[in-house]
């Protein structure tokens, strides 16, 4: 064997040893990362399960919590047992319902003070509405469908009134009761002169404080100058200039649906959020 061949073999052996060392070090680093990741997930899972069980206690039953956060009882059982972990969307929804920060909910156990605050929110009967709101909706008068009416919604304990205005003059006045279900609030109103009217809206989250505004569904009866309608209603705690913000109001109040689908009209949480953000931008 000549000297050149010997040197080549020695260099190859050294390179293999270096490569082995590098691979070994990399493998150790990977194992450390995996161990850290597993430890982190175990910690998150443990805290999440603890907090989830506390929410079940506050709601009274597992069935009630599952219904409130929009998952099946079976899936909630898997969450509680650590056999499944919620998606980021589900986590965000849970934290939104109970007004908890996501990082807090999954990384730390909720304190007694935090749980007490959540419980007070669940049991609170305090009024989440301001005394009155401005309302905006398309005019129902035949030939004036593109114009936007202004109304006033007033709360009087468990009673409500809805006034349709023309400038400073009162055109129609409906009054009635507030009916609550788990997720929907319905205002059943009537007027001796103008008939029956309904407003239906998603139940506001009481943990967020006073209701600023959003979208609702409005039903108005017909009269000599207008036809009956079911349409969107924008509710706002501030007055909005209908001329300055006509295009924005029109977009919020228009259904993206053809006439053949009108019987299936409904509001999405996305639309309601857009309306809320619009109102917030004006405050």
Tell how far CA 96 is from the center of its chain.
Answer: 7
Percent of the chain exceeding pLDDT 70 equals 72
pLDDT at position 163, please? 94
CA dist 100 and 93 (Å) reads 10
Mean pLDDT, range 57-83, rounded to an integer: 86
Q: Quote the CATH superfamily of domain 37-123.
A: lambda repressor-like DNA-binding domains (1.10.260.40)
pLDDT at position 129, please? 85
pLDDT at position 33, please? 44
Closest by alpha carbon to 257, among 272, 267, 269?
Answer: 267
pLDDT at 14 over 60: no
**Model-level pTM?**
0.55
CA dist 267 and 248 (Å) reads 17
Q: Quickly state the pLDDT bin for 168 (edges 50, 70, 90).
A: confident
pLDDT at 27 over 60: no
């Amino acid at each position: 064997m000549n000297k050149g061949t010997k040197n080549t073999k020695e260099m190859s052996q050294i390179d293999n040893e270096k490569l082995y060392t590098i691979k070994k070090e990399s493998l150790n680093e990977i194992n450390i990362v995996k161990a850290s990741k597993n430890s982190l997930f175990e910690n998150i899972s443990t805290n999440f399960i603890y907090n989830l069980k506390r929410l079940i206690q506050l709601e009274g039953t597992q069935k009630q919590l599952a219904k409130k956060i929009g998952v099946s009882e079976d899936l909630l059982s898997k969450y509680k047992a650590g056999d499944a972990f919620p998606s980021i969307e589900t986590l965000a929804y849970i934290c939104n319902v109970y007004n908890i920060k996501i990082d807090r909910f999954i990384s730390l156990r909720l304190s007694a003070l935090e749980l007490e605050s959540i419980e007070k929110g669940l049991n609170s009967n305090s009024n989440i509405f301001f005394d009155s709101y401005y309302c905006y909706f398309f005019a129902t008068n035949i030939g004036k469908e593109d114009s936007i009416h202004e109304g006033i919604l007033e709360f009087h304990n468990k009673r409500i009134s809805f006034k349709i205005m023309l400038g400073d003059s009162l055109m129609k006045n409906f009054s009635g009761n507030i009916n609550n279900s788990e997720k929907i609030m319905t205002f059943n109103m009537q007027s001796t002169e103008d008939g029956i009217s309904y407003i239906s809206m998603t139940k506001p989250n009481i943990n967020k404080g006073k209701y600023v505004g959003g979208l609702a569904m409005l039903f108005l009866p017909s009269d000599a100058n207008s036809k009956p309608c079911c349409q969107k209603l924008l509710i706002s705690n501030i007055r909005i200039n209908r001329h300055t913000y006509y295009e924005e109001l029109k977009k919020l109040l228009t259904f993206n649906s053809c006439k053949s689908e009108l019987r299936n009209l409904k509001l999405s949480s996305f639309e309601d959020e857009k309306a809320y953000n619009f109102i917030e931008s004006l405050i």
